[in-house]
């Protein structure tokens, strides 16, 4: 039995943030019923198309283990069917632009009236306030949540990150909110509203940068490279390049082959606990006792010199050799892996983190499986549904007879 078996999710999500949330719930065993506009479906089905005529990887990689029903929730007949779906399900998830569900005639009050046990979860770009009516995509959330102003190189433009912290990050937050509300419902018997704003989720993931904002009042941030470089701090948390975000200085350093391979780099952390081992590995044993280098505090103004010496050593090794040498010594390092290397990495296939899935329209493709591993609830990744693939069976499950299903089809409601 799966952890969320028996939980029915009315999935009104589209694009990325909502679908990542409901995909996680589906991997844990929930029955996720994805409602899509007849003939159109989730816009991502036809975005960034690589195989003409087939659902895109954008769609397939965000909608595994779900069932698809088409329904025009703006038609009278569609609204009647939608009402039955609300009665049938435990959780409704949506990430439409603000007000879209109200405009369909399904406000939170109305949903509660139809099903008081319903958990109604939504993603919006912003919480209540001046921007609550705005439409928001990933990079807008990264900018408004504090990530872009603190990412990139000092003196250069703000930078967005490739990790989809606004979309997938908010989806993760929402999934936690939903299972928490489901748990509370076991005591209260009542549903409730779960809201996640993308700005808030990004900020939650950038919490160390708000930490640094407040530390600035006490003086320069000594673990930032700019401190050692004598560059004064302004009044806001600066961009920190590849500096480590914590108390153990770290940087990205070149490895053998960097001249031609854009990913021949390693991340190297000068953890205080292993400083003496680092000195030995890089051929600087004298730094173990030199008072300019022996303590973490003494090292802070000399990070450029220190990482320069470490890089002289890492440039003589491949990123994997650096890992092989440093790991047994407990020196924290990590190779910069390309997506090609990740796609080909056998250990990620073994754990189900990277999975090959077959699809009737596009054949085999790779996807990211469930990153959350439950010992008693393994996640099998099943291909995403075709548009409306499960319309008939879902309508039958909520009590429509074959004539009613035919009528809904001919009337254009599904
Ligand atoms: N039947 C009938 N109409 C449907 C429908 C269905 N099954 N499903 C959706 N629609 C309608 C909606 O009711 C809405 O109509 P309305 O504007 O007349 O009220 C319309 O389709 C489109 O919805 P909308 O959410 O405005 O889509 P969009 O493509 O214009 O905007 C986003 C996309 C992502 C910008 C927007 O949805 C948004 O800001 N969402 C919240 C934040 C978010 O999740 N962003 C990240 C996405 S990865």
Residue 257 · residue 335 · CB < 8 Å: no
> How far, in Å, CA of 182 to CA of 28, rounded?
14
pLDDT number for residue 303: 93
Q: Do the Cβ atoms of 234 and 212 come closer than 8 Å? A: no
Distance between CA atoms of 93 and 11, rounded to whole angstroms?
A: 5
| Dihedral sign, Cα of residue 76, residue 77, residue 78, residue 80 | positive
For 141-152, write each residue's pLDDT tens digit.
999 999 999 999
For ligand 1, atom 36: residue with the closest CA: 97
User: Does 74 sit in the ligand 1 pocket, CB within 6 Å?
Assistant: yes
Share of the chain above pLDDT 70, in %: 100
Say if ligand 1 is within 6 A of residue 211 CB: no
Structural tokens at position 77: 């007949």
Alpha-carbon span 60 to 45, nearest angstrom: 8
Q: Which residue's CA lies nearest to atom 10 of ligand 1?
A: 37
The mean pLDDT of 57-70, rounded to a whole number, is 98
- Asked if the model's pLDDT at residue 244 lies above 90, the reply is no
| CB-CB contact of 174 with 150 (8 Å) | no
* Predicted local confidence at residue 37, as pLDDT: 97
DSSP state of 37: -
How far, in Å, CA of 24 to CA of 64, rounded? 9
pLDDT of residue 247: 84
Q: Is the CB of 391 under 6 A from ligand 1?
A: no
Biggest alpha carbon–alpha carbon distance for the chain: 87
Nearest to 250 by CA among 208, 294, 207, 311: 311
Question: CA–CA separation, 267 vs 269, rounded Å?
Answer: 7
Determine the Cα–Cα distance for residues 137 and 123; give it in Å rounded to an integer: 11
Q: Give 313 Cα–ligand 1 centroid separation in angstroms.
A: 53
- Confidence class of residue 120 from pLDDT cuts 50, 70 and 90? very high
Is the shortest distance between the CB of 144 and ligand 1 below 6 Å? no
Each residue's pLDDT tens digit, 262-303? 999 999 999 999 999 999 999 999 999 999 999 999 999 999
Ligand 1: centre distance to CA 366 (Å): 28
Ligand 1 closest atom vs CA 123? 44
> Per DSSP, what are the bridge partners of residue 277?
none
Query: Known catalytic residues?
Result: 167
Predicted confidence at residue 245, as pLDDT, reads: 79
Report the alpha-carbon distance of residue 285 to residue 296 in Å, rounded: 16
pLDDT tier, 138 (very low <50, low <70, confident <90, very high otherwise): very high
Pairing of the two strands 333-335 and 265-269: antiparallel
What distance in angstroms lies between residue 207's CA and the mean position of ligand 1's atoms?
30
Here the tokens at position 242 are 């590849």
* 102, 123, 127, 135, best to mutate for ligand 1 pocket (most atoms within 8 Å of CB): 135
**Alpha carbon of 98 to ligand 1 centroid (Å):** 8
For residue 395, what pLDDT band results from cuts at 50, 70 and 90? very high
Q: pLDDT digit string (tens) for 16-54?
A: 999 999 999 999 999 999 999 999 999 999 999 999 999
Taking only the tens place, the pLDDT of each residue in 322-346 is 999 999 999 999 999 999 999 999 9
Whether the model clears a pTM of 0.75, i.e. scores above it, the answer is: yes
Q: What is the C-alpha separation between 70 and 45, in angstroms, rounded? A: 14
Give the whole-angstrom CA distance, residue 307 versus residue 330: 18
Q: What is the pLDDT of residues 197-211, one digit of tens each?
A: 999 999 999 999 999
Residue-averaged pLDDT of the chain? 97
In whole angstroms, give the CA distance from residue 363 to residue 356.
Answer: 10
Whole-number Å distance, alpha carbon 165 to ligand 1 midpoint, is 20
Bridge partners (DSSP) of residue 119 are 91
Q: Kindly calculate the radius of gyration of the chain based on its CA atoms and give it in whole angstroms.
A: 26
């Amino acid at each position: 039995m799966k952890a969320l078996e028996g939980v029915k999710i009315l999935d009104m999500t589209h694009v990325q943030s909502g679908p990542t949330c409901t995909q996680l719930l589906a991997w844990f065993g929930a029955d996720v019923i994805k409602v899509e506009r007849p003939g159109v479906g989730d816009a991502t089905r036809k975005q960034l198309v690589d195989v003409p005529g087939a659902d895109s990887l954008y769609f397939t990689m965000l909608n595994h283990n779900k069932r698809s029903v088409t329904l025009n929730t703006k038609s009278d007949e569609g609204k009647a069917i939608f009402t039955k779906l609300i009665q049938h399900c435990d959780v409704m998830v949506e990430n439409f632009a603000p007000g879209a569900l109200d405009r369909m005639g399904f406000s939170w009050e109305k949903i509660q009236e139809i099903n008081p046990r319903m958990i109604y979860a939504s993603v919006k770009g912003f919480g209540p306030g001046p921007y609550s009516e705005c439409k928001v995509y990933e990079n807008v959330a990264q900018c408004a949540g504090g990530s872009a102003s603190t990412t990139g190189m000092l003196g250069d433009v703000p930078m967005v990150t490739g990790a989809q912290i606004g979309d997938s990050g908010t989806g993760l937050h929402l999934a936690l909110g939903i299972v928490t509300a489901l748990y509370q419902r076991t005591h209260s018997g009542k549903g409730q509203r779960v809201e996640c704003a993308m700005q808030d989720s990004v900020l939650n993931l950038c919490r160390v940068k708000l930490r640094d904002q407040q530390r600035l009042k006490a003086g320069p941030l000594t673990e930032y490279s700019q401190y050692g470089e004598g560059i004064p701090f302004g009044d806001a948390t600066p961009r920190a390049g590849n500096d480590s975000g914590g108390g153990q200085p770290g940087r990205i350093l070149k490895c053998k082959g960097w001249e031609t391979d854009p990913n021949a780099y390693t991340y190297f952390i000068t953890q205080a606990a292993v400083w003496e081992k680092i000195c030995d590995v890089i051929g600087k044993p004298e730094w173990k006792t030199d008072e300019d280098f022996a303590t973490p505090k003494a090292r802070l103004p000399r990070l450029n010199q220190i990482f320069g010496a470490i890089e002289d050593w890492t440039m003589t090794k491949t990123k994997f050799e650096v890992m092989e040498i440093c790991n047994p010594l407990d020196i924290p390092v990590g190779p910069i892996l390309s997506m090609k290397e990740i796609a080909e990495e056998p250990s990620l296939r073994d754990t189900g983190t990277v999975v090959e899935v077959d699809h009737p329209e596009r054949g085999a493709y790779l996807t990211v499986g469930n990153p959350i591993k439950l010992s008693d609830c393994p996640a099998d990744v099943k291909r995403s549904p075709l548009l409306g693939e499960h319309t008939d069976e879902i309508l039958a499950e909520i009590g429509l007879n074959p004539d009613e299903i035919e009528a809904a089809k001919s009337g254009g409601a599904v």
